[in-house]
Homo-oligomer: A and B are copies of this chain.
Amino acid sequence: MPSLGTVDKSPEAEPVFAQIADLLRAAIRSQMFAPGQKIPSESELMAHFGVARMTVREALAVLKGEGLLVAEHGRGVFVRSQPVVRRIASDRFARAHRQAGKAAFIAESEGVGKPSVDQVQVSREKPAVDVRVELGLRPHASVVARRRRYLLDGTPVEIADSFIPLTIAKGTLIEQENPGPGGIYARIEEVGHRLTEFKEEVSARMPTPEERQRLALASGVPVLVVRRVAFSGDVAVEVIDTVKSANHYLLEYRFPAV
C-alpha cells in the first residue's frame, strides 16, 4: 500500500474519520489511486491508521457520498471511473431529424452509443395540477401519459414522462407503445400543430430510492431534473418531465444576446 500519511488523534484535532477521508481524497486526486483502481481494504486501512473498523467505514462513506468511491461486495472498494458524458445540444429537436425518422433521443445518441427504450407505459389519465396548468387545460380534461426509460448501450440513463392533451393525441400513434418514425413530435405536427418553441427548466437533486433503482445509480450521483414544454404558437402541446443520471448528461444551450 502506498504511503497515505498518518492521522492526529489528539482531542483538539479534526475527527479521525474526516482526516482519513481527506488523505484518501488527496491520494485519489493526485492519481495515487487511479480511476477504476482498488484502494486498500478496510482491514489494511484499520492497521495503517490504527483505528477501529467503523472509523474507516465512516471515512469511506464520506467519499462514497461524494461520488469518488464505489464498493463492490466481496471484491473491494474502487475509485469511480469518470463517466462518459453525453453532450446534448438544443438542436436535438430539429424538424430535420423528425423528417429523417429520428426521434429526439435517437438523434442525441448518434455517435455516443446504441439507444433503446423500455418500461413503456401509455395511458389516459387526469394530469397533475402543474401539468394541467402548463398545458392550459380545463379542470377535467384528460391527457395521454407516456412513461418510459431510455438506455444507452443497455445502461439506463433517463426516465421520461410525457403528457399530451387527449384532444391532440386521441386516435393517433401517440396512444400506441411505438409512436412511429420521428417520435411523438412528428405525430403532433402531423395533426396540424407545427412546433415553434421549446421551454426547458433545469434543476438537480438527489434521486428518490425508486429513481436510484430504475437508473441504476451509484450513491453520490445526483439527477438532473428537466421539464420541457413544447409550444405550437401560444399553445402548449406537450409537457415532458425527465430525470437524467447526472453521470451521463451534459446539457448544452445556445441563445442569442438580445
Contact = CB atoms under 8 A, between A and B. Distances in A.
A199 to B, nearest CB: 5
Contact of A224 (B61, B95, B199, B203): B203
A118 interface: no
A195 B256 CA distance: 9
A34 to B, nearest CB: 19
Nearest to A198: B255
A75 interface: no
A254 B253 CA distance: 9
A94 interface: yes
Given A61-B61, A257-B95, A202 B54 contact: no
Contacts of A205: 67, 222, 246
Contacts of A206: 65-67, 220-222
Given A66-B208, A197-B257, A203 B93 contact: no
A255 B255 contact: yes
A116 interface: no
A142 interface: no
A91 interface: yes
Number of this chain's copies in the complex: 2
A130 interface: no
Contacts of A197: 254-257
A204 B254 CA distance: 18
Nearest to A207: B66
A150 to B, nearest CB: 18
A258 interface: yes
A255 B54 CA distance: 51
Contact of A200 (B201, B204, B252): B252
Given A54-B54, A66-B208, A208-B66, A203 B257 contact: no
B222 A204 contact: yes
Interface centre among A87, A196, A199 (most CB of B within 10 A): A199
Contacts of A254: 197-200, 255
